[in-house]
A = this chain, B = another copy of it.
Amino acid sequence: MQTSAFSPHDHSRCITSAIGHAKSLCADRGVKLTPVRQRVLELVWQSHQPIGAYELLASLAKEGFNSAPPTVYRALEFLSGQGLLHKLESINAYVGCCNPDTPHQGHFLLCQDCHQAQELDSQYINLALKVSADQHGFKIQRHTIEIVGTCEECLAQSTALEPTP
């Protein structure tokens, strides 16, 4: 089962679990989760919000890692190739993937107040995309589905603040 990214939760457990998962997954696949790759994945998960490449780079630099742009972009490329994270195209930022075992591309809810992202993988949306594509004889390879708005928690807060419109 899955918690919402928007709700308060013990995020350190998310990180630990995501890293453990990534390790075994890479071992199974015979690919290397090298120190810099692992650290980038940790940093992505540590962030409560989608994080940009240059912000990651700054953190790596502070920790003594090599800190030229290719370092972080290579790590991001590897991790996204392994399905361990997703890039959010509309904000040029990266988020950890909750379900890296099965190759997929998620759908994302992006809250413009708290700037958190929630990954979905709605079969309903997938079906709607497939139907539309089929109608045009279009064969889907991949997609970018990013929904921007306000999450439940932030909505509740703003209504609490302005009870009478």
Residue on B nearest A128 in the bound complex, by CB: B128
Residue on B nearest A125 in the bound complex, by CB: B128
Residue on B nearest A138 in the bound complex, by CB: B109
Given the interface pairs A131-B124, A151-B137, the reply to whether A144 lies near B142 with Cβ below 8 Å is: no
Asked if A162 lies at the interface with its beta carbon under 8 angstroms from chain B, I say: no
Copies of the polypeptide in the assembly: 2
Asked if A155 lies at the interface with its beta carbon under 8 angstroms from chain B, I say: yes
Asked if residues B89 and A144 are in contact (CB atoms below 8 Å), the reply is yes
Residue on B nearest A141 in the bound complex, by CB: B149
Contact of A147 among B109, B127, B143 (CB under 8 A): B143
Contact of A148 among B141, B150, B151 (CB under 8 A): B141
CB neighbours (8 Å) of A152 from chain B are 136-138
Q: Which of A121-165 contact B (CB under 8 A)?
A: 122, 124-125, 127-129, 131-133, 136-152, 155
Residue on B nearest A112 in the bound complex, by CB: B141
Complex CA–CA separation, A137 to B157 (angstroms): 13
Asked if A31 lies at the interface with its beta carbon under 8 angstroms from chain B, I say: no
Name 26 A/B residue pairs within 8 A (Cβ), A-sorted: A89-B89, A89-B144, A90-B144, A107-B132, A109-B132, A109-B133, A109-B136, A118-B138, A120-B132, A122-B128, A127-B128, A128-B129, A129-B145, A133-B149, A136-B152, A137-B155, A139-B149, A142-B149, A143-B145, A143-B146, A144-B144, A144-B145, A144-B146, A144-B148, A145-B145, A145-B146
